[in-house]
Structure 1
Amino acid sequence: MNRLLVASLFALTSSQVLAMDSLSDLAWKNRVVLVFGNYGDPKVARQVEALETEEAKLAERDIVVIRVSKEGASSAYGNIPALNSAKLRKDAKIEDDGFHVVLVGKDGGIKLRSEDIVGNVEMFDLVDSMPMRQAERK
C-alpha cells in the first residue's frame, strides 16, 4: 500500500514538472522576464547578470528570469523546470533569433518588449506600477 502511494505521488509530481513548458503554466504565480538571444550573445549575458544582482527585488516581486535560445530554454533565476523554448517563443510572439527582452505579467499579458537591454530600475518601476503589484504591497 505504501509503495503504491509513493509511486502515485511520484507520478503525479513528475507529470506536473514535465507539463511546465509554456507561459500559461506560470500565470497567476509569477511575473516572467524572458531573455531571448543566441547562445553566447553578450547582450543576453549582460541582461541576465544585471537582473541577478537584484535577487531580493526579483523574489519580492515574484519574478522569474528565463533564457531562451534556439538550443533551448533555461531558468536563470527562479526554479522553473522543463522549459520548452519553441512554446515560449510562440507564447511571446518572437519569430527571429535576435536579442529580445519580454516582461510577462502574472495575468499572462505582455507588459514590455525591448530589443535593447532593460535597466533594473526601469524593469522594477514598471512592475511596481502594475495594479496587481500595488495590491500585493497593501
Structure 2
Amino acid sequence: MRYWSIVLILFSALAHSYPADSEKWQHRSIMFFAPSHDQYVQQFLLETLMEECSLQERDIVTLVIKEDGSTVPVWAQDAFDLSVLNAFYDIPKGQHTGILVGKDGREKLRWGEKTDWTLLKKVIDQMPLRQQEMQRNPSRCAI
C-alpha cells in the first residue's frame, strides 16, 4: 500500500503518462530538501551540472525542494503537493536531506548537506535493474 501511495503522491500530475499496471517508473529521482536557497543548494545544483552525463545515463531526475515551497525546477511546485512529500519522507525542518528513489518507487539512500556523487552512482549501479541497463548500453560518460 505504501508503494502505491508514494507513486500517487509523487506523480499524480503525470499519472496519465504511466501505465496503470506498471511496477516500474521511467526514471530514478534525487530529491534534495533544504531550508532555503543556500550554499548547499548552490553546490548541489552545480554538481548536478557537472554530473549531467552520469545522471542522464542512469535515468535520474533531480528536484530541489525548499521549505518556502519553491523548487528547482520551478514546475515541480505546481506538479507535487510538497507538504505531502515532506511528511511522507519525514523531512526535519531546518535541515538538508537528500533522498534517492529507485525506479521501483522506494527510497534507496538518504544523506545530509553534501552529496557524495561517487557513493550515489555506486548504489545505483549495484541495483539489479541498473545492472541490466549497463549490460544493454555501455557507458557513454567515460573520458
TM beyond 0.5: yes
Q: Distance in 1 between matches of 2:102 and 2:70?
A: 19
1:64 aligned counterpart, secondary structure: strand
Does the CA contact (< 8 Å) of 1:36 and 1:97 recur in 2?
no
1:22 aligns with 2:19: no
Larger Cα-atom Rg: 1
Structure 1 regions of 5+ residues with no counterpart?
1-19
Q: Residue 129 of structure 1 corresponds to which residue in structure 2?
A: 126
2:91 aligned counterpart, secondary structure: coil
Q: Distance in 1 between matches of 2:84 and 2:50?
A: 28
- Residue 107 of structure 1 aligns to which amino acid in structure 2? D
Percent identity reads 29
Give the one of 57, 60, 63 matched to 1:60: 57
C-alpha spacing 1:35/1:28, structure 2 compared with 1 (3 Å)? same
1:136 aligned counterpart, secondary structure: helix
Runs of 4+ in structure 1 off by over 6 angstroms are: none
Q: Residue 19 of structure 2 corresponds to which residue in structure 1?
A: none
Q: Residue 31 of structure 1 corresponds to which residue in structure 2?
A: 28
- Residue 71 of structure 1 aligns to which amino acid in structure 2? D
Q: Tell me which moved more, 116-125 or 59-68.
A: 116-125
Deviation at 1:55, TM superposition (A): 1.1
1:17-63 C-alpha deviation (Å, 9 max, x unpaired): xxx98335586111111111122221122122112211111111110
Does the CA contact (< 8 Å) of 1:37 and 1:100 recur in 2?
yes
C-alpha spacing 1:38/1:28, structure 2 compared with 1 (3 Å)? same
Structure 2 regions of 5+ residues with no counterpart?
1-6, 15-23, 136-143
Deviation at 1:124, TM superposition (A): 1.1
RMSD: 2.5
Does the CA contact (< 8 Å) of 1:36 and 1:100 recur in 2?
yes
Q: Distance in 2 between matches of 1:23 and 1:52?
A: 23
Q: TM-score, normalised by structure 2?
A: 0.69
